[in-house]
Amino acid sequence: MKRTFILVAMAFLMVGMLAAEEAVIIDFTNLSADIIQGADGQMTQNRHTTMDYSVSAGATFTDQQKSLMKSSLAFKNWEVVLNSSART
């Protein structure tokens, strides 16, 4: 019984490795800025990667505070250092 289970598990693992497919869901480097103007008048963020938390903010926040409640998932805002092979 134990041997059968191990053989079946190995077979599923091998089939999974052969049938696996790799894909890029979102390539953040290809997104261009289209919202939120910076001080120089240029757009700084991409609409598809910006989260607006002000829609769920309570009534105690001012409009100015709500305007600051946007967070972007854009690549340049990540606080990570990529190794040399990942920088393309």
- pLDDT of 16-53, one tens digit each? 999 888 888 877 778 888 887 888 888 888 888 888 88
6-12 mean pLDDT: 95
CB burial class (10 A; 0-12, 13-18, 19+) of residue 50? middle
What's the mean per-residue pLDDT of the chain? 85
Looking at residue 24, its pLDDT comes to 80
Q: What is the pLDDT of residue 3?
A: 94
